[in-house]
Structure 1
Amino acid sequence: MIVRAPRRRRRLRQAFRRIHRLFNGSALCNSPMKMVGLFSIALVLGMVGPADADPQRQRRADQDAARAARVDGRNLPVREIERRILPSMKGAQYIGFDFDSDAAVYTLKFLRDGNVIWVSVDARSGAVIGRTGR
């Protein structure tokens, strides 16, 4: 006489088999086209991954370079530059700044009447190099 497992156990075994097939790849890659599609998706995702970390590294390198130049006395502190530039931007809201370590330029960002204004300032001398916006 064959003794059958209770329904719950049978259902559990069936669920485990489905999961096993899913992770084993037989359910996903049962045709060559699916296999090519999965490979191309994995390839694209692999190429996108490392690019996300690059801007963070560049930003960190810029921060380190700005600090080193300020400590060495080559660049003015950003607070000094802000102290010089902010009074000339009456009616504009100060948003923040960026630093380009290669060119030693601070770019201060302002907002006035819905327009963004960028003011480029030489980090060594504090002189305004350029300005965009109104």
Structure 2
Amino acid sequence: MKISIGNDHAGPEYKKAIIEHLENQGHTVINHGTDTFESVDYPDFGHAVASDVENQKADFGIVICGSGNGIAITANKHQGVRAALCWINEIAALARQHNDANIISIPARYTNIKQAVEMVETFLTTDFEGGRHATRVDKIACR
């Protein structure tokens, strides 16, 4: 699987751990994030990841910022992107099962690295349930 990841200055350690986990599983990772704690603008990285998902250069995306909100809002500006802010494993599973989310947004200041890696694993291995949820997901896109 090909996965795009991006983060701001709140998430370099998270990104490093997640990339290591994904590569150990044989996934290809496109890295758009910063590796430093110097202040950067999260939209730059959110747009890069969302563009990869939107243009089918990546199967899924992972975005990380302090609260997870700003970078999720940024990613959701792209057509066909459904970025879900997740802070516990159950939310990551529901985002896939009910919303067919294709980008997980992680709040680095409100989760720990172990939780983040577990959420990513859950997100990537949980299938969309379809059915009544498909009807709802179809209504999300502006046409």
TM-score range, shorter chain: under 0.3
TM-score relative to the length of structure 1:
0.21
Name the structure with the higher strand share. 1
Q: Which has the larger radius of gyration?
A: 1
TM-score relative to the length of structure 2:
0.20
Name the structure with the higher helix share. 1
Which one has more relative contact order, counting CA pairs under 8 Å at least 6 apart? 2
